[in-house]
């Protein structure tokens, strides 16, 4: 697979990951209206693990591994190109990599992770309730 195709694929995967983190949090909050959501243990566990990972990266001041890998691939491409990547990937990159202070992302990310963890512990999926009760 060429560096360009792999970098473009990583951009799409990265965007999907961001959407999963946001959508998962929205579903977690909406779960109070739809209690059956709280029994979707695999989705909730994957989302919790993901958001805790993202929050830990923010707290440690680290970049997402997808960003590091993607940037390494892009550096190997011709740096004189005006528009690296495909058309769609170029637009997705503009949504993901905007110019703002990192704390503007770090604070909400850590808050979302804390709220998600709190809700997960307070309303664990039925399959994991015994684990949280100490049984």
How many domains, the chain?
A: 1
pLDDT at 82: 46
d(CA 37, CA 8): 33
Containing domain of residue 36, as a range?
3-77+84-133
Share of the chain above pLDDT 90, in %: 35
Q: What is the rounded CA–CA span in Å between residue 67 and residue 72? A: 8
Distance between start and end Cα atoms, the chain: 49
Q: Are 87 and 10 in contact (CB under 8 A)?
A: no
> Do the Cβ atoms of 85 and 6 come closer than 8 Å?
no
One pLDDT digit (tens) per residue for the chain, 135 residues:
688 888 889 888 988 999 999 999 999 998 888 888 888 899 999 999 999 999 999 899 888 888 888 878 878 876 655 445 555 566 666 777 666 777 888 899 999 999 999 999 998 888 887 766 554
Residue range 75-107, pLDDT digits in tens = 887 665 544 555 556 666 677 766 677 788 889
């Amino acid at each position: 697979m060429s560096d360009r195709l792999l970098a473009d694929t990583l951009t799409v995967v990265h965007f999907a990951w961001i959407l999963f983190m946001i959508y998962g949090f929205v579903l977690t909050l909406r779960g109070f209206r739809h209690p059956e959501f709280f029994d979707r243990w695999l989705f909730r566990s994957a989302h919790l693990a993901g958001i805790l990972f993202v929050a830990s990266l923010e707290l440690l001041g680290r970049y997402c591994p997808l960003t590091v890998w993607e940037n390494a691939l892009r550096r190997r491409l011709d740096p004189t190109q005006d528009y690296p990547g495909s058309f769609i990937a170029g637009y997705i990159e503009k949504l993901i990599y905007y110019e703002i202070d990192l704390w503007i992302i770090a604070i909400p990310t850590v808050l979302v992770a804390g709220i998600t963890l709190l809700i997960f512990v307070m309303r664990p999926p039925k399959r994991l309730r015994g684990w949280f009760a100490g049984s």
